Amino acid sequence: MLFSTMSTGLGQVQNAQIEKIRYSEINLGLAKTYDLVDYGLGLSYLRGETYIFKNNFIFEWEIGMALPTLATGKLGFGLRINKINYTIGIRPYPSTTYFQVGFPGSKNRILLISFEYNPRKEFTNFSGLSNGNINIGYRFSRE
C-alpha cells in the first residue's frame, strides 16, 4: 500500500507541468557578527535553478562564491502568489535558515530581499561569524 502511494505521488510530480528557470544572482548583505565588530558586509554571486510547478509550488537551489566566506549555497522551497515568490530554506554554508521574497521585474529579472538566521546562536565553524543577516539581491535569467 505504501509503495503504491509513493509511486502514484512520484508519477504525479513527473507528469506535472514544470517551469524551469536557470539564473545568476548577485547579493549584498549586512550581517550581525560574532567578530570584533558588531556588523559586517557580505557579497555573493550564485548560479542556480528554480522549478515552478503547476500549483505554484517552488523548489530552488543555488551555489556560488561569496565574501568573506569564499563559498555559499542555498536550498529552498515555497510558493508563488500573484507573481511574487516566497521561499524558505537552508544555507548550508554559512549555516543559516532563511526567508526570501522575490519581486518580479521585466524579462525574467527578480529583486530579492532575504532574512537569514543562525538558529544555533553561537559561533561555529559553519556560521561564517554571523548569527543573522539581511540581503538585497538581483536575479537574472541565463537563457
Inform me whether the pLDDT recorded for 11 exceeds 70.
no
Domain of 74 in residue numbering reads as 18-141
What pLDDT shows up at residue 119? 80
- 35 domain-assigned: yes
Residue 24's pLDDT is what? 97
Q: Is residue 13 part of a domain?
A: no
In a domain, 5, yes or no: no
Q: Is residue 4 in some structural domain? A: no
Q: Which residue has the higher pLDDT, 90 or 9?
A: 90
In a domain, 43, yes or no: yes
pLDDT of residue 5: 42
Instruction: For residue 41, tell me if it sits in a domain.
Output: yes
Residue 33 within a domain: yes
Contact call for residues 21 and 52 (beta carbons, < 8 A): yes
| Res. 33: pLDDT tops 80 | no
3-state secondary structure 78-94: EEEECCEEEEEEEECCC
Q: What CATH number has the domain bearing residue 51? A: 2.40.128
Domain count, the chain: 1
Q: Give domain status of residue 128, yes or no.
A: yes
Rounded CA-CA distance 105/48 in Å is: 18
User: In Å, how far are 28, 97, 114, 119, 138 from 132, measured between CA atoms?
Assistant: 14, 9, 11, 9, 20
